[in-house]
Amino acid sequence: MTDQLRLMAVHAHPDDESSKGAATMAKYVSEGVDVLVATCTGGERGSILNPKLQGDAYIEANIHEVRRKEMDEARQILGVKQAWLGFVDSGLPEGDPLPPLPEGCFALQDVDEAAGALVKLIREFRPHVITTYDENGGYPHPDHIMTHKISMVAFDAAGDPERYPEAGEAWTPLKLYYNQGFNRPRTVALHEALLARGLESPYGEWLKRWDDMDRPERQITTFVPCADFFEIRDKALIAHATQIDPDGFWFHVPMDLQKEVWPTEDYELARSRVDTSLPESDLFAGIRAAG
């Protein structure tokens, strides 16, 4: 490509960009790729998950503002650009039966209408590649599922000048991927490597739940080598202090083991308008060669 390569990562909440594909983004930034994170909501209804900050009255009263500052710090660590789509966090309903979602939240928006904000951003930024979540949201959070829905509409619509004519000049993104970092082969490999070292694995319960659910395997098509950027990923994660305990689950696997056993971040190619051969090691496979 004679033009600078551009990657857009569409996420539901601030912190999702640092737990899903962060090392990939940092790698591409280091190579001169222009990377933009599109954050659908402000995370207003997110709980304070870091036990060290629970009970902090200021944070509880100003969670939206605090999470915006955390996002800004993570953005700087990763070296990416970031834009807010402006929707309101839906929260994660719990209980049986599930309570209704709060009025006006992201997950209750009309999909076609909500996709207009993402179409506008795609036409402004002009990404060659977009990453998002699969139809299950990666996990069934209503905002993650809605993120998938608007991403699919926007990917198809952004290049059609007759759709969303008010959103700017049409631009056709070439590839769309689903984040699949929490896939079973990776989890099994890390689990077994930890046990082989005589270490405790945090993944035993995960694997048991997967077995109980009889969860179908996703087709992982693309393995991006990015182990050199795992430390940057972790720094970005820790920047989301309300959501991430630096002594918690995310950091139980020694860094050297991660790099040795599974040095990639993994994706599922969902749409492509260019020819490519699977498996891939580059989100821009088939695009670089087209230039």
- Are the C-beta atoms of 218 and 134 separated by less than 8 Å? yes
DSSP-based three-state secondary structure for 21 = coil
Q: Does the pLDDT of residue 66 top 70, yes or no? A: yes
H helices of 135-183, where?
A: 142-157
Distance CA 168, CA 130 (A): 18
* pLDDT, tens digit (0-9, with 9 covering 90-100), for 177-206: 999 999 999 999 999 999 999 999 999 988
225 preceded by a cis bond (ω within 30 of 0): no
- Residue labelled with tokens 């079973």: 184
Domains of the chain: 6-182+219-290 (3.40.50.10320), 184-217 (no CATH)
252 annotated ligand-binding residue: no
User: With bands split at pLDDT 50, 70 and 90, how would you rate the model's confidence at 1?
Assistant: very low
Q: Which residues make beta-bridge pairs with 177? A: 131, 269
pLDDT at 2: 44
- 198's tokens: 């005589």
Q: What's the angle, vertex CA 251, arms to CA 236 and CA 230, rounded to 5?
A: 50
Question: End-to-end CA distance of the chain, in Å?
Answer: 4
pLDDT at 240: 97
Judge residue 102's burial from the number of C-beta atoms within 10 Å of its C-beta, 0-12 exposed, 13-18 middle, 19 or more buried: middle
> Cα torsion at 95, 98, 101, 102 (round to 10°)?
-50
Distance CA 137, CA 107 (A): 12
Say how many C-beta atoms besides its own lie within 10 A of residue 76's C-beta: 12
15 annotated ligand-binding residue: no
User: With bands split at pLDDT 50, 70 and 90, how would you rate the model's confidence at 291?
Assistant: low
- 253's tokens: 């696997």
Say how many C-beta atoms besides its own lie within 10 A of residue 111's C-beta: 11
Distance CA 140, CA 142 (A): 6
CA distances from 6 to 11, 31, 95, 273 (A): 16, 11, 41, 16
Say how many C-beta atoms besides its own lie within 10 A of residue 135's C-beta: 11
Say how many C-beta atoms besides its own lie within 10 A of residue 101's C-beta: 17
13 annotated ligand-binding residue: yes
Task: Report the phi/psi class of residue 57: left, alpha or beta, with left for phi > 0 and alpha for psi in -120 to 50.
Answer: alpha
pTM of structure = 0.95
DSSP-based three-state secondary structure for 81 = strand
- Residue labelled with tokens 């209503």: 142
Q: On the CB side of 188, how many CA atoms lie within 13 Å of its CA?
A: 7
- Are the C-beta atoms of 63 and 46 separated by less than 8 Å? yes
* pLDDT, tens digit (0-9, with 9 covering 90-100), for 200-248: 999 998 888 888 777 778 999 999 999 999 999 999 999 999 999 988 8
